[in-house]
Structure 1
Amino acid sequence: MSDKKSILNKEVAAQKLHRMALEVAENLSGDNAELILIGVRQRGSAIAQKVGALLPQYMNVPIKIISIFFDKDIPKEIELSEPVDFTGKNVIVVDDVSNSGKTLLYAMKPLLDFYPKSVQTMVLIERMHKLYPIKPDYVGLSLATTKEDLVHIDVENGEITGVVVSSE
């Protein structure tokens, strides 16, 4: 039997997304380069959409939101929702949970064919079990968990409705 614990509800998750949008605007203040948010499907894409919708309140730059998809167990074929030239653009790779850093690392692979102005990472939940040299730049909540714990972000109709930690 698994124990489940609610970590964030819909309202607190929305506050975290709003704060991360504000941090992005502060960090890129005065930079007029286009901003591209790459959401790792599905939950990272939902977060990218939400943050992307908040950013125009704070920034007056073109903002593009795309999705990336790959098999996290065998990340050979990486697909973008549309072809994009990242050269000279500020890019933020967005995922729901950072655990080992592997997903964020592989999500950056398509950027290697270009010369982006900057590349940053964003996650709603950061766990502390890094196996790869990836540290998210924007974090909604850092969470100390065991390796056996599972962190799940609930998304309904593109809305983040909660975050739950379960242990087996």
Structure 2
Amino acid sequence: MSEVLNDKQIRQKVTRMAYEIYERNLHTSGVVFAGISGMGLILSELLSKELKAISDLSVEELEVQLDKSNVSQSKITLSKELELTGKTLILVDDVLNTGRTVAYAMKPFLEEDISKMELAVLVNREHGLFPLRPDYTGYELATTLNEHIRVDLSGPQFSVHLL
């Protein structure tokens, strides 16, 4: 196991991503972070907190709940209902691997009248099986399919490891 990103690097990447989100959404009526269950939700909360600290944009959050181990059969639910009309929705996950989880997580938002949908990930592994590219990426990491990335944003010290 080798460390890919340490706590300081992750926090810097979150700050940079928040500034990018702010720059690209200056004129939106609001930003809604939709964090995918697990580390995606925690990353979403970190981005939301940072964006609120650097801007006066209207920022809201919700969780996209699904079973990552079986997304095609999983029921996809949202933690709460928010008014999304005219807002930018940013779908957030910790790692973009094949894109399957993100593709299914988009489903609840496809019939909403959002201004635009963007994707933010901490680590992009570049194994896209679906035509998805993140709008905001903390770190690009080319890996083999046999390697795994473990993101830990739950403790006082954040880390990303390659297993």
**TM class, shorter-chain normalised?**
over 0.9
Change (3 A) 1:108 1:74: closer
Matching residue of 1:151: 149
Matching residue of 2:33: 37
CA RMSD of aligned residues (A): 1.3
Conservation of the 8 A alpha-carbon contact between 1:13 and 1:160:
no
Give, in whole Å, the separation in 2 of the partners of 1:17 and 1:160. Answer: 14
Give, in whole Å, the separation in 1 of the partners of 2:33 and 2:151. Answer: 19
**One-letter amino acid matched to 2:131:** P
Higher strand share: 1
Give, in whole Å, the separation in 2 of the partners of 1:133 and 1:59. Answer: 31
Deviations 1:23-62 (A, max 9, x none): 0011112x14111000001101100111101112332121
Give, in whole Å, the separation in 1 of the partners of 2:116 and 2:16. Answer: 20
Matching residue of 1:118: 116
Give, in whole Å, the separation in 2 of the partners of 1:86 and 1:17. Answer: 24
Alignment coverage as a number of residue pairs: 161
Give, in whole Å, the separation in 1 of the partners of 2:20 and 2:95. Answer: 18
**One-letter amino acid matched to 2:13:** K
Unaligned ranges ≥5, structure 1: none
Matching residue of 1:48: 44
Unaligned ranges ≥5, structure 2: none
> Which of these residues, 52, 61, 70, is aligned with residue 57 of structure 2?
61
Give, in whole Å, the separation in 2 of the partners of 1:56 and 1:86. Answer: 18
Matching residue of 2:162: 165
Deviations 1:79-124 (A, max 9, x none): 1111223221110000000000111111110111211001000000
Change (3 A) 1:74 1:22: closer
Matching residue of 2:25: 28
Secondary structure of 1:125's partner? strand
Conservation of the 8 A alpha-carbon contact between 1:85 and 1:114:
no
What is the percentage of aligned positions where both structures have the same residue? 31
